[in-house]
Amino acid sequence: MYTDWTAAEIPDQTGRRVLITGANSGIGYITALKLARKGATIVMACRDEGRGKAAISRILAEAPGGRLELVLLDLASLASVREVAAREVDRGLPLDLLINNAGVRLSKRQETKDGFEMQFGTNVLGHFALTGLLLPALERATAQNAGEDGRTRVVTVSSSGHRRGQIDFDDLHSTQRYHPQVVYQRSKLGNLMFSFELERRLKAESSKVASVAAHPGTAETGMYKIGSGKGMAGVAERTLAWTIGAFLNSDAEGALPTLFAATAPEAKGGGYYGPQGFREMRGGDVGEGKVAPQALDRAAAARLWGACEDLTGVRFLHG
């Protein structure tokens, strides 16, 4: 167990290029800020141009001289994923670190531009396609970092909620039944299964790219914010907010497992890291996360990989 690990322990990142999805807010923003402070060049992959530019301005205010780039990426559109990845690969630059951080959590069923259920389509399929299409740039980085095994990494953000998730291969897009929490948990299980299967396939091809997973605990993001009612209703809301907040990580604490997975020499390919507080919901200590049995099902992971290939048309690392 690795305890009391802080962002101050992030090794120097000078010369490293990092692409972070969903970098304009929450954990993605904190991750970008901390890595920029350590000298990395950050490719901010954001869906909204205005929010992306605002995030860059905020980071530069806290990290003057930071090297930041903005790319517009919509993980709910395979066309957007392909365009961004092709542009990145065509630049001929190494990509030292890919952080699959962005995600959606919805209360009603929606579909991506390609007709996939939105949570599964964005959280799982979008990141699967992006990783496969960016693999040439990641491999380019390993060639330039000879002798530094594990330095080039793909970090995929899952959730402790994966432990309640189940992959329904007969209804991946939730057309037969839809419960938002069930579908979200399924997508986070899919993220973790993808990370583990990616590591297995990278190893099978003797790649020096490492696949690592992390989860933030229950981070205090907008989905947990409480309204601003008045009178007794307001008192009740504030009491509820305080109660919930007592069990939530801040964005800064929630980003630590991702930063650990991305940079710590102790982080291993195939690892899964999270906070070590009550039920892994919060805490500044980072250690190995608890993995549900279904996330370790290799046959199911291989089947999920095949389904992702079929749905996205992106095929790589055939194992």
- List, by residue number, the catalytic residues: 184
Residues with Cβ within 8 Å of 304's Cβ and at least 6 positions away in sequence, in order, are 167, 169, 190, 193, 194, 197
Q: Which of 38, 250, 277, 259 is nearest to 160 (CA)?
A: 277
- Cβ density class 126-145: b for 16+ within 10 Å, e for less: bbbbbbbbbbebbbbbbeeb
Torsion angles phi and psi, residue 134, rounded to 5: -90, -5
Tokens 């690392």 identify what position? 317
Other Cβ atoms within 10 Å of 316 Cβ, number:
17
- Report the C-alpha gap between 182 and 66 in whole angstroms: 40
In order of 18, 36, 185, the CA distances from 40 in angstroms are: 7, 5, 32
Under 8 Å between Cβ of 66 and 42:
yes
Under 8 Å between Cβ of 184 and 127:
no
Residues with Cβ within 8 Å of 63's Cβ and at least 6 positions away in sequence, in order, are 33, 36, 37
Phi-psi region of 231 (alpha: psi -120 to 50; beta: other; left: phi over 0): left
DSSP bridge pairs for 100: 156
- Report the C-alpha gap between 271 and 48 in whole angstroms: 32
Radius of gyration of the chain (CA): 19
Tokens of 295: 């996330």
